């Protein structure tokens, strides 16, 4: 609000209080990973490197952690790239081109946006098996990219809508093809949207749990989410080591978060100025 209310300091204190739970959670994770056990938020043992041994040896018959990390990286990067490219292409067409069925297509995408994709997981499992893509990274990448498409198209359409017509006209008159226009002129102009979508898709894919859990079974193709989860299910929970794994897993997220907050905050407000 443009005018700060007189008791804004009180508001700040309330906000700080609201932030305590989340902040303590993250702090707890880092402390437990380093100190093995904490009482509340107070470390009780000296820092031990033992918790981090999963980094250089296989723990309890699991695949080595670098397999999971590499798979997760490949997965996240490919999903984000596919997402950005495919969603932008579709959004550009819907936003900037006229073709029969345009309104229908847009309406369809908007319906899908609200549709709960996760309820389809049982059928997707069956379909991937039929396609021979079950238990492959390719399969999960395609599924994840597909399920994020409605959000991506909606977001990018908002950004494309804000581009001026004149500039496009000028380029077309000069003889540029639509395709080149898209890549050389339009895309660079919607960089904030691309960054928002790309960052969001990257993070969403990095953390994805239920899809790989259901659709991947071999340990060579395991992702970090499943790898961490194997520590949590049956058997002894070595809290210190699990926290260490959690720190390694969450670190890229926290890093991107600190660097790219701005982009993320754009994710639901695509195209809105101010």
Partner 1 sequence: MRRRGLVLLWVAALLAVLLPPAQAQRVVVLKAWTIGPDNPSVTRYNNLVGAAERLNADLRREGAGLQVKVEGFFDTTNWDSYLRRVLLGFQSNEGPDIVQANGSLNATWAEGGFIIPLDGYIPQYKQFADVVPSLWDAMKYKGKIWAVPQDTEARPLYFNKVLLKQLGWTDAQIAALPDRMAKGDFTWDDVMATAREAVQKRVIEAGKGYYHRPVNGPDFIQWYRSFGGRIFDDATGKLVINKAALLRYYTWLRTGVDAGVIEKDRLNNDWNRFMQPVTDGKVLFFSGGTWQWAEWAQQWVNNKGGEEWLFANFGYGPHPTYVKGGKAITMSNPQAYFVSAKSANKDLAVRLLAYTTTPEFDAKHAVGSAHLPVLKTTARTINNKFLKEVSYLLNYTTFAPAHPDLSKWQDAVYRGLSAVESGQVAPQQGVDLVVSEMQRTIRDQVIVE
Partner 2 sequence: MAHEAVLVERAPAHPRRRGSHYLMPALFLTPATILILLFFLLPVITTIGLSLTDISTLTFRQPKWVGVANYRELLGDPFLGKIMANTARYVFLTLLFNVGMGLLLALLTTSVRERYGGQVRALWLLPRILPPVVYVFIWQGLTLEAPFGLVSDVLGVSRNWISASPWTVIILANGMVGASFGMLIFTSAIRAIPPDLFYAAAVDGATTLQTVRRVVLPLLRWPIMFVTAYQTLSLLTSFEYILLLTNGGPGFYTTTVWALHAYQLALQNYFGNVQFGLGAAMAAVLVVIGIVVSFLYLRIFNFRALVAEPKVEVN
Footprint of partner 1 (CB under 8 A): 60-63, 129, 134-135, 213, 217-219, 229-230, 233-237
Residues 237-256 touching partner 2, rule: CB under 8 A, are: 239, 242-243, 246, 249-250, 253-254
DSSP string, 163-184: S-HHHHHHHHHTT--HHHIIII
**Secondary structure letter of residue 220 according to DSSP:** G
Residue 125 burial (10 A CB sphere; 0-12, 13-18, 19+):
middle
Q: Is 140 in the site for partner 2 (CB under 8 A)?
A: no
Kindly list the distances between the CA atom of residue 96 and the CA atoms of 148, 182, 197, in Å, as whole numbers in the listed order.
Answer: 22, 10, 19
Choose among partner 1, partner 2, none what residue 225 binds, the Cβ cut-off being 5 to 8 Å by kind. Answer: partner 2
When asked if residue 138 is in the footprint of partner 2 (CB under 8 A), the reply is no
DSSP, collapsed to helix, strand or coil, labels residue 38 as strand
String of contacts with partner 2 for each residue 54-93, x by CB under 8 A: -------------------------------xxx-xx-xx
162, 164, 167, 169: CA torsion to nearest 10? 110
Q: Which does residue 60 touch among partner 1, partner 2, none (CB within 5 to 8 A, set by kind)?
A: partner 1
Of 166 and 234, nearer to partner 1 (C-beta) is 234
> Which of 68, 149, 197, 241 is in the footprint of partner 2 by CB under 8 A?
149
Q: Whose Cβ is closer to partner 1: residue 204's or residue 229's?
A: 229
Q: Is 41 in the site for partner 2 (CB under 8 A)?
A: yes
CB of 188: closest distance to partner 2 in angstroms? 17
Question: For helices 191-207 and 239-265, what crossing angle results, to 10°?
Answer: 160
| Count of Cβ atoms closer than 10 Å to residue 207 Cβ | 16
């Amino acid at each position: 609000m443009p005018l700060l209310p007189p008791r804004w300091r009180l508001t700040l204190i309330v906000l700080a209080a609201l932030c305590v739970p989340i902040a303590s959670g993250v702090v707890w994770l880092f402390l437990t990973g380093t100190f093995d056990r904490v009482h509340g938020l107070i470390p009780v043992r000296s820092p031990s490197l033992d918790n981090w041994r999963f980094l250089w040896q296989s723990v309890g018959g699991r695949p080595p952690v670098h397999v999971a990390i590499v798979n997760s990286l490949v997965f996240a990067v490919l999903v984000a790239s596919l997402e950005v490219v495919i969603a932008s292409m579709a959004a550009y067409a819907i936003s900037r081109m006229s073709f029969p069925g345009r309104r229908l297509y847009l309406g369809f995408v908007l319906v899908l946006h609200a549709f709960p994709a996760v309820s389809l997981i049982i059928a997707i499992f069956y379909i991937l098996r039929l396609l021979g893509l079950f238990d492959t990274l390719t399969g999960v990448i395609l599924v994840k990219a597909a399920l994020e498409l409605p959000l991506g198209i909606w977001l990018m359409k908002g950004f494309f809508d804000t581009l001026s017509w004149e500039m496009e006209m000028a380029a077309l008159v000069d003889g540029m093809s639509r395709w080149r226009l898209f890549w050389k002129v339009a895309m660079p102009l919607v960089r904030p949207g691309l960054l928002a979508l790309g960052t969001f898709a990257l993070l969403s894919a990095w953390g994805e749990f239920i899809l790989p859990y259901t659709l991947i079974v071999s340990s060579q193709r395991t992702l970090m989410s499943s790898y961490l989860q194997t520590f949590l299910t049956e058997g002894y929970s070595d809290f210190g080591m699990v926290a260490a794994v959690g720190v390694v897993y969450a670190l890229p997220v926290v890093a991107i978060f600190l660097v790219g907050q701005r982009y993320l905050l754009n994710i639901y407000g695509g195209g809105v100025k101010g």
